[in-house]
Amino acid sequence: MVDQELHRGLEDIAVAETRLSTIDGEAGELIIGGYPVEELAKNALYEESVFLLFNDRLPTKSELESFRTELAGYRKISEEIKQVLRQAARENADAMDALRMGVAAANLGFDSTESTDHAKRLVSVIPTIVTTYWRYRSGKEPVEPRDDLGHTANYLYMLSGEEPDPAAVRGLETYLNTVVDHGLNASTFVARSIASSDSDLVSAVTGAVGSLKGPLHGGAPGPVLEMLLVAHESDDPEGYVQEKLDAGERLMGFGHRVYRTRDPRAEVLSRAAERLYSGSGDRAFFGFVEEFEETAVSRLSDHKPDRKLETNVEFYTAVLLYGVGIPQELFTTTFAVSRVGGWVAHCLEQAADNKIIRPVSIYVGDHNRSWTPAENR
Annotated catalytic residues are 256, 314
Short-list 303, 293, 287, CA closest to 242? 303
Short-list 141, 172, 137, CA closest to 155? 172
- Alpha-carbon Rg for the chain, nearest whole angstrom, is 22
Q: Is the distance from CB of 135 to CB of 142 less than 8 angstroms?
A: yes
CA distance 106 to 109: 8
Q: Would the CA dihedral through 66, 67, 69, 70 be positive or negative?
A: positive
The set of residues, in sequence order, having a beta carbon less than 8 Å from that of 335 and lying 6+ positions away, is 179, 212, 218, 221, 317
For the chain, the residue count is 377
The set of residues, in sequence order, having a beta carbon less than 8 Å from that of 73 and lying 6+ positions away, is 124, 147
CA distance 254 to 261: 10
Q: Is the distance from CB of 293 to CB of 271 less than 8 angstroms?
A: no
HEC states along 240-285?
HHHHHHHCCCCCCCECCCCCCCCCHHHHHHHHHHHHHHHHHCCHHH
The vertex-322 CA angle with 123 and 141, nearest 5°, equals 60
